[in-house]
Amino acid sequence: IEEVLSNLEAIPESIRQQVINQGGGYYNHNLYWANLSPNGGGEPKGQLKEAIDKAFGSFEAMKEKLAQAAKGVFGSGYGQLVLDNKTKELEIIQTKNQDAACSIGKTTLLIIDVWEHAYYLNYRNRRPEYVDKIFSIVNWEEVEKRYDEALKK
């Protein structure tokens, strides 16, 4: 699916939006669920930690910027820590609806789902609280693995 979403211009225009919506939903949610672990939390290590410190100054600064991006999504979408595939620089982005970062030349490392279905049962309309708490279950080993793989592309 990543290959399809990375080459949307090859998709007939008549079905492109459906591919973005359905394919992006599948892709983003697979990344999201792999991000989470009941034994998660803490901080990244190794190369990813070094890259975060270089790009954002510190892990805490990255976390704050990512949280602000996720909290600031208007409507439904995602806050994401991504690697730009060309520059190999880390970035924080917002994506709307089911748009996938791979469609714009980025590799998703960490994704925070801010569709209401992700938080409403437990947090009701308290999206900011959900975003702040999600860092306590982030599976940093998975995020580090994605980062290492993305550097090789």
**Which strand ranges, in their side-by-side order, compose the sheet holding 106-113?**
90-96, 77-84, 106-113
Q: What is the C-alpha separation between 25 and 52, in angstroms, rounded?
A: 27
Instruction: For the chain, give the percent of residues with pLDDT over 70.
Output: 100
Task: For residue 75, give both structure tokens.
Answer: 């409507």
Q: What is the pTM of this model?
A: 0.95
SS3 145: helix
Strand partners, 123: none
Domain boundaries, the chain: 2-152
Fold of 2-152: minor pseudopilin epsh fold (3.55.40)
Span 40-69, pLDDT tens digits: 999 999 999 999 999 999 999 999 999 999
Instruction: Return the sign of the alpha-carbon dihedral for residues 59, 39, 140, 46.
Output: positive
**Those residues with Cβ within 8 angstroms of residue 67's Cβ, 6 or more apart along the chain or in another chain:** 79, 112, 128, 131, 132, 135
Span 114-141, pLDDT tens digits: 999 999 999 999 999 999 999 999 999 9
